[in-house]
Amino acid sequence: MRIRAEFVVVQTRLESCMIGLPIAMLLRCSMLTVVGATRMADDLTFVINPEEDVASLGLLLKSLEDIRRLLRDVDMAAYGVRSRSHWLVQRLESRSPAITVRSHRSGCDVPQAVASGVGAVTAGTDRPPRYFSEQAPFDLQRMKRLFSGRDRARSIVLVADGRRAATIDKNISEQVDRILTAGYRNLGSLQGSLEAIDVHSTAEVTIWDRISGSPVRCAVPREQEWISRAKDLLDRRVSITGNIRYFANGTPRSVSDVTDIEDATPDPSLPRAEFGSIPDEGVRRVGAAEWLSSVRRAG
C-alpha cells in the first residue's frame, strides 16, 4: 500500500544555460532576489553545491533519493495515498549538479507548496507548512546526512521558476526541530478516511483527518485481530482513539497507544444536524478547520 514516485528522464543536457540564466549565475543563487510568488511554481530546481570542487556520485545519488522522498510525501499529503506521484526531469546539469523537475499534473500546486514550505522551514517557522504532514519534516531532517562525511555538500539551493526559494544546509535538522518540538499531546479521538496499512516493521494505519485533510499515521497493536480489523475498514471513515500528537497549529501529527478503532461511516437513515449546531458565527469568521484547531489547542 505504498505510494511510488519515480523520476523519468526526458531531457539531459550538459549545457551552460538553465531556465534562461548562465549556470555560473544560477549556482551563485545569492544573486537571485526572493520575490513573493504571483503565480504557482511549475518547475523546481535543486542545485547541489559540493564541499569539494566536483560532486561525487555518492553525494548525487543520496541527494536525489532525499529529493524524491520529499516530493513524494508532500504530493501524497496533497492528493492522497493513491496519487501516483510522477515527476519529470526537465534538465540535468553537471559539475555542481542541478536537477529541474516538474509534476506531470497540469495546474498542480505541489511545486509551490514544496518551494514555500522548504523556504518557511529554513526561515525558522515552528508551524508546519501547507501539505507538510509529519513525514515531510522528517524527509528534510534526513537531509542532514548530505552535509557530513567525506563526500558532503555545502548546501542545496532550491529554485522555483527562476527564483531562489530556500537554501538547505547543515542547520536543517535544528530548523526542522523547531516544528517537531513545538506541538503538544492529548488523549482523544480522530476521524478520517483510512487509506493505508503498513505492517513491514511496526503496524501502522494512515488516516486522512477530516478537519485538516492531513495524513496521520497511527500505531496500532501488531496483532492479527487489529490488522484484520484495519483491513475490513480500509477506505471507510473511522474513529481512532489514542495518544494524539499535534503540531503547534492544532493539526494532528500522529497517534500512538491506539486503544480503539471503529467504523464512523455516517448512517444515511439518521437525521442530519442543522446549521447552527456549532458556533456558526465563529466558524464563518475563521473557517471550520481553523476554528476546530483552536478548540483542540484550548482543550
CA–CA distance, 17 with 32 (Å, rounded to integer): 15
Distance of CA 148 to the CA centre of its chain: 24
Higher pLDDT, 241 or 201: 241
More confident residue, 36 or 162: 162
Q: How far apart are CA 86 and CA 9, in angstroms?
A: 11
- Band (273; pLDDT cuts 50, 70, 90): low
Task: For residues 126-137, give the mean pLDDT.
Answer: 95
pLDDT of 86 reads: 80
Of 21-30, 136-145, 168-177, where does mean pLDDT reach its minimum? 21-30
DSSP E strands in 25-119: the ranges are 43-50, 86-93, 98-103
| pLDDT value at 142 more than 60 | yes
Residue 188's H or E segment, with its range, is strand 184-198
Yes or no: say if 191 and 201 are a contact pair by the CB < 8 Å rule.
no
Determine phi and psi for 154, rounding to 5 degrees. Answer: -85, -40
* CA nearest neighbour of 23 among 33, 10, 14: 14
Average pLDDT over residues 122-140: 96
Q: What is the DSSP letter of 260?
A: E
Which DSSP symbol is given to 124?
Answer: T
How far is it, in rounded angstroms, from Cα 223 to Cα 153? Answer: 43
Query: What's residue 294's pLDDT?
Result: 67
Which three cell numbers mark 282?
Answer: 465563529
CA distances for 67 relative to 3, 218, 245, angstroms? 15, 25, 26
Is residue 183 within 8 Å of residue 246, measured between CB atoms? yes
Enter the pTM of the model.
Answer: 0.76
**Partners of residue 280 on adjacent β-strands:** none
Give 109's Cβ-side CA count (13 Å radius).
11
Band (141; pLDDT cuts 50, 70, 90): very high
pLDDT tens for 226-255 read 999 999 999 999 999 999 999 999 999 999
Q: Average the pLDDT over each of 63-72, 135-144, 188-197, 259-268 and give the range with the smallest value.
A: 259-268
Residue 292 predicted with pLDDT over 60 = yes
**Residues of the chain by 3-state class (helix, strand, coil), percent to 5:** 30, 30, 40
Q: pLDDT tens for residues 28-74? A: 333 333 333 345 678 999 999 999 888 899 999 999 999 999 999 99
Q: What is the pLDDT of residue 4?
A: 33
One-letter amino acid at 239 equals: S
Residue 96's contacts (CB-CB under 8 Å, 6 or more residues apart) are 27, 47, 48, 49, 50, 55
pLDDT(160) > 70: yes
